[in-house]
Amino acid sequence: MKIVWESFGAPKSNGLSAYLYARNGWELTPTKYRNTDRTPPPGAVVYFLNTARPSAPGHIAISVGGGYIASTDKPRDGQTGRVSISDIEKSWGGRTYLGWSYFFLGHTITPDGKTPTPTRPAPPVTPPIPKDDTMSKILSVPGGTIALVGEFSSRVYTRPDGTQGYSQGLNKIIGGEIPNLTEDQLATAVNEVTGRRAALIDEITAKVTAAVLAALDARKA
């Protein structure tokens, strides 16, 4: 995901993070922007799901046309090469092609694969989760994506029926619901959580590192 994000210029105007799982990129792509045919045009973002482990990150690549993609770790680990969509499915067991899109983390990719531009001017957005409210809430788009969003964690419901439906209903009771969002607003909320979590991890890591170094210096003294 990071490499694909940087390939398109790593735009920062909307605060979206490059470090989501590949499968989250597909889940957060509005349905109207998803395409499932196996001939993605050059420059399109291509998604794969690990069907053997649906919770795994999945895989993401860039189409170069003709059913081929530019993929990391191909033809071998640590390299980026040109391979077919079917090659990914055959050589990486459990990977299933999901589809392609010109929509990528809140941006529309230009057909020539150059820097993406915002889908529309970003209006001022009031964060749906107030800073003093750490209880996770259900965020929902009418007839669209449903997610559980807290201060430092989020979960997009891929199967709102069955066990996920029970989880969704329970969290509505516990934390409440913010309905009637747009897909872009929900995606922004989920990505803001990712940014807060990354910042928290960096802060904790810095403090732990400082404490360890201080302890080592104390031993030397």
Residue-wise pLDDT for 139-185, tens only, equals 888 888 888 888 888 888 876 666 677 778 878 888 888 888 898 88
Q: CA 78, CA 33: separation in Å to the nearest integer?
A: 31
190-219 mean pLDDT: 84
Question: Please, are residues 59 and 71 in contact by the beta-carbon 8 Å criterion?
Answer: yes
Residue 37: per-residue pLDDT:
92
Residue 121: per-residue pLDDT:
45
Residue 7: per-residue pLDDT:
53
115-126 mean pLDDT: 46
34-38, 52-56, 121-125, 198-202: which has the minimum mean pLDDT? Answer: 121-125
Q: CA 148, CA 40: separation in Å to the nearest integer?
A: 31
Residue 19: per-residue pLDDT:
44
The token pair that represents 15 in the structure block: 């605060």
Within 8 A by CB and 6+ apart from 156, the residues are: 24, 27, 28, 145, 146, 147, 190
Residue 196: per-residue pLDDT:
83
This prediction has a pTM of: 0.45
Q: What share of the chain in percent tops pLDDT 70? A: 74
Cis before 75? omega within 30: yes
